[in-house]
Amino acid sequence: MNVAVAKTGNGRAVSDLFASAEGRLPGSPSGIAVRREAFETYERLGLPHRRIEEWKYTDLRALVGEVLPLAAAPDAAALKRAAEAVKAHAIAGARKLVLVDGVFAADLSDVKALAAEAGFRTLRETLEKDAGLLKTAATDAVIALNAAMATDGVVLDIADGAQLSAPIQIIHIATVASASAFTRSQVAIGKGARATIIESFVAAGAKAYQVNDAVLLSVGDNSDVAHIRLMDDAPDALNVTSHFVTIGANVKFNFFNMTTGAAVSRLQGFITLAGEGSELSANGVNLLQNTEHGDTTLVVDHAVPNCVSREVFRAVIDDRAHSVFQGRIIVRPDAQKTDGKMMIRALLLSDEAEADNKPELEIFADDVSCGHGATAGALDDSLLFYLKARGLPEKQAQALLIQAFVGEAIEQIADDDLREHVIGIAERWLERRQ
């Protein structure tokens, strides 16, 4: 398998990536034209690097260097491994939609059960008729690359008034080493609906793979939506994910992200509050060890008046890991009475751990209440000693304090079972460092 190198000026190698994948990319002729254009954008920009402001702390050229060729469509053996991973990571009661190496796996998914409550198609099916889903504001190279290369994804339609009786869990599974998967999904939620969407990223034995995912999510007026993303990819994987979220009026939207895997990861979320009276709660936890690099970048755009946004972000950084949190709150000129708060805290567990916290406010309205705070520090020695004096070994004492530290973000998850599930993932991460 030849590896295509995506560096500036190396047009030929980059083009190979697209040329060799083209036969596998779904879409009508007009869709392929959209892909070509997106690919040209990507070629022109190359992988993001530190001189691009938004990517200053996550220099993909230095950290990753190359985009791996597309993973082959999963064969029976791959699907069998994926089935095991589904068992291990499925959330009890949730309706599963499984993507294996970037391809929807119907046999591992609960399509029938879901059909009663939500409209569902694959991205592949959707693209046969309409290339619209490939169109996103692609000034960002990884998003353009996603549009060019996306092989599959889920397209969910949750009707006005729908009250989903169970969460929907989209599970991304990697089974192929040294290859990449590109997925793109759309979740359209109508008015007055209630839904919980969970996304999980896991490996089924695969190593050193790359994931590039994009999610387009819209929420209609008066809906109540929880969106939870749990990224636990293999420790040597790459995961770059882009979220585009548009929120209507009087909506309660609760987003939570947890990063416990991947050598290099970036979640970039672009959340627009487009209707008045909505409440956004966006929270995240990065748990990083070894030389992992985890970047969460959230842009919350208050486009209209009278919305509330709350962001609580916690990073726990061990060894020589590096956490990045960039949170920007934009308040447009019309968005009076905006109430936006963001709190970022990083816990450094080693002298070589690194945290870059960059909260930013861009306020163009005058009658608003916005604020942010960012701190970074080590575990409190006096608390550690108290716990040790009561019999807890060092690592166990640390674990208890770390759980308390991330608990402030995790407790924002309203559903008890889901919260317990997330706490379980954090506990397993803590066990890895015992």
Partner 1 sequence: MPLLEVKDLKVRVEEREILHGLTLTVNEGEIHAIMGPNGSGKSTLSHVIAGKPGYEVTDGQILFKGEDLLAMAPNERAAKGVFLAFQYPVEIPGVATMNFLRTALNAQRKARGESEYSTPDFLKKVREVSKSLNIPQDMLKRGVNVGFSGGEKKRNEVLQMALFEPSLCILDEMDSGLDIDALRIAADGVNALHSPKRAMVVITHYQRLLNYIVPDIVHVMSKGRVVKSGGKELALELEASGYAQFEDAA
Q: Name the site residues for partner 1 (rule: CB under 8 A).
A: 380-383, 385-394, 396-397, 400-401, 403-405, 407-408
352 versus 411: smaller Cβ distance to partner 1:
411
Report which residue type is found at 240: V
393 versus 424: smaller Cβ distance to partner 1:
393
158 versus 409: smaller Cβ distance to partner 1:
409
217's CB contacts (< 8 A; 6+ apart) are 186, 187, 188, 189, 197, 227, 243, 244, 245, 246
269: tokens are 């979320």
Distance of alpha carbon 144 from alpha carbon 37, whole angstroms = 9
Q: How far is the CB of 406 from partner 1 (least distance, A)?
A: 9
Number of H helices, E strands in the chain: 10, 19
- Nearest CA-CA partner of 372 in 398, 333, 339, 399: 339
Q: Burial, 88: exposed, middle or buried (Cβ in 10 Å; 0-12, 13-18, 19+)?
A: exposed
Q: How far is the CB of 151 from partner 1 (least distance, A)?
A: 42
365 versus 392: smaller Cβ distance to partner 1:
392
Q: How far is the CB of 403 from partner 1 (least distance, A)?
A: 7
In this structure, the strands spanning 168-174 and 95-100 are: parallel
408 versus 415: smaller Cβ distance to partner 1:
408
2 versus 382: smaller Cβ distance to partner 1:
382
Distance of alpha carbon 65 from alpha carbon 30, whole angstroms = 31
Q: How far is the CB of 411 from partner 1 (least distance, A)?
A: 9
Phi, psi of 202 (to 5 degrees): -140, 165
Q: Burial, 215: exposed, middle or buried (Cβ in 10 Å; 0-12, 13-18, 19+)?
A: buried
Q: How far is the CB of 407 from partner 1 (least distance, A)?
A: 5
365 versus 383: smaller Cβ distance to partner 1:
383
Q: How far is the CB of 401 from partner 1 (least distance, A)?
A: 7
Q: How far is the CB of 121 from partner 1 (least distance, A)?
A: 43
Distance of alpha carbon 250 from alpha carbon 275, whole angstroms = 7
